[in-house]
Amino acid sequence: MRAPNLLALMALVFASAAAAEPVIIDHVTVIDGTGRAPKPDMAVVVDGGRFTLVGPSILAKSMTGRRIDGSGKYLIPGLMDIHIHLAGFSRGKETSWIPGSKSTDKWVVNRKEGEQALASFLYAGVTTVLDVGNIPENILPLRGDERAGKILAPHIFATGNLVTYPGSHGTDIAINVRSWPEAEAQLQAQFDNQQPDVQKITYDDEGWGSRPLIPILPRDLLEHIIRFYNLHGVRTTVHISNESRALEAIYSGVDSLAHTPIQGPVTDAFVRMAAAKQVPMATTMTIGDNYSRLHEHPEYLDQPLYVATMAPEERARLKKLVADGGETALRGSPPLYQKSWRLWMKTQTPILEDNLRRIDAAGGVIATGTDTSNGASEHRELELLAEAGVPALHIIRAATYNAARFLGRQETMGSIEEGKIADAVLLSADPLADINNCKSILMVMKAGAIIDESQLDLAGGKQKRRMAQ
Ligand SMILES: [Zn+2]
């Protein structure tokens, strides 16, 4: 058993402090995450971990509590990344969940790596993550400790093992099922042991990147799996990469897409369906963009958020790979794909960007997911959405309220509205003027508790608090 550490004690202190004294942020411009226009000179009162008042500053004038002057500042909901694979698991030297991995070693859990990745999200203003495929031994104890208030981490939602067909996408970290009703006992055991918050399934035979064709889950089995989890009260999400498989999954009953089609421009009919059906679709551009970005612009690793959240040795290793003329080998990318993988992603990412822009413009529900394991990535995802031509107000909605819809939790989180869980980020500059101002973080609040950055175990080393106390 682990001894209680300082971080755990600090977390408890913060939790009780939050419970004791209301926080009043006044004269702040609120961008509430729902897509509504910003409201200037507002007061946001937080008590007992929830927003208890969101209204004109005058309403909070005589209230007592800890007061934060929000003049000239902007308050947005805590950001969410609804497609991560939290670091902290590997096989020997290589981390890979791509079929074709030859490794037969057992999975190894590195608890510190997982905790540091979680800290990176909080530091970057990401207060909620959904892990959509991991090994249970890595993610589930962290989820338990987060819920028990033992670690400083974002709200963690997780699928545990994903579900697929033998040899299909993600097979290495999946419960592999062949047929119904034989699969039911496997799913029941997964449900009982792992308590998935959202269940991820993979349904893709086409190459993801330049991968060769692989086996796919039979469609009738997909439908049985979705039905099983829904009947247990669990929403489902699915890995797809093209429009046809996305449509088949949606009409098999899936509740969200873990990616938006990237294999080609979607049809106008697909865009109309997205708006009519309101199925949340994850954006997941950063994973693919990272390969060519590292190759062509390795200096991005010197941006403050990366310096704070990545180990100096890891940044140096990645830069050296590029300098040596070696192919991109970001964590998780299998060496056998390398150059073709990078070029495929570079070609397809603008197509995915345009698909997202069209779906959003038509009234579909896009939600930010990065498919990575670092909080800085969230800001790249926002940047790419801006590059795609998605309006800033919609980008913030995609990263907050829409992400909560993806989780099926929009009634309790994802926006700055009275009664909701108080997850928020205070910014020193207007994110609607430039989405990169989402990086100008003064304060991160999770469930009403103000995060003390100096207590976060970040891979880049100890950081100072960004707002005077
Ligand atoms: Zn993924």
Torsion of CA 244, 249, 251, 257, to 10 degrees: -100
Dist. CA 381 → ligand 1 center (Å): 14
Across the range 319-342, mean pLDDT stands at 64
Contact status, residue 99 vs residue 168, Cβ threshold 8 Å: yes
Answering whether pTM is above 0.85, one says: yes
Closest CA to 71 of 33, 38, 40: 40
Q: What would you report as the CA-atom Rg of the chain, rounded to the nearest whole angstrom?
A: 21
Residue 85 has pLDDT above 50, yes or no: yes
Question: Does residue 419 surpass a pLDDT of 80?
Answer: yes
Within 13 Å, how many C-alpha atoms sit on residue 124's CB side? 34
Helical packing angle, 219-231 and 182-194, nearest 10°? 40
Is residue 337 scored above 70 in pLDDT?
Answer: no
* Residues measured by CB to lie within 5 Å of ligand 1, the ion: 371
**Between β-strands 39-47 and 23-30, what pairing exists: parallel, antiparallel or unpaired?**
antiparallel
Rounded to the nearest whole angstrom, what is the distance from the C-alpha of residue 281 to the centroid of ligand 1?
A: 13
The pLDDT of residue 208: 74
> Under DSSP, is residue 191 helix (H, G, I), strand (E, B) or coil?
helix
Comparing 95-99, 222-226, 341-345, the range with the smallest average pLDDT is 95-99
In angstroms, the CA 32 to CA 396 distance is 9
For ligand 1, the distance from its centroid to the CA atom of residue 43, given in whole angstroms, is 38
| CA of 51 relative to ligand 1 center, distance in Å | 32
Å from CA of 45 to ligand 1 middle: 36
Centre of ligand 1 to C-alpha 372, Å, is: 8
Cβ proximity of 172 and 97 under 8 Å: yes
Taking the centre of ligand 1 as the mean of its atom positions, its distance from the CA of residue 84, in whole angstroms, is 6
Statement: residue 6 has pLDDT above 60:
no
- Look-up of token digits 């991109």: 328
> From the CA of 238, how far away is ligand 1's center (Å)?
10
Residue % of the chain over a pLDDT of 70:
89
Distance 262 CA to ligand 1 centre (A): 13
Handedness of CA 304, 309, 310, 312 (dihedral sign): positive
Average pLDDT, the chain: 91
Domains of the chain are 6-76+416-455 (2.30.40.10)
Which residues have a Cβ under 8 Å from the Cβ of 57 and sit 6 or more positions away?
26, 27, 41, 42, 43
Report how far ligand 1's centroid is from the alpha carbon of 198 (Å): 14
For the residues 263-271, what does the mean pLDDT come to?
97
Higher pLDDT, 330 or 186: 186
Of how many residues is the chain composed?
Answer: 469
Distance 208 CA to ligand 1 centre (A): 11
Rounded distance from Cα 326 to ligand 1 centre (Å) = 25
Of the candidates 211, 241, 212, 209, which has an alpha carbon nearest to the alpha carbon of residue 344?
Answer: 209
| Alpha-carbon 6 to chain mean position | 27
Phi and psi angles of residue 100, each rounded to the nearest 5 degrees, phi first: 105, -15
User: How far apart, in whole angstroms, are the C-alpha atoms of residue 193 and residue 160?
Assistant: 9
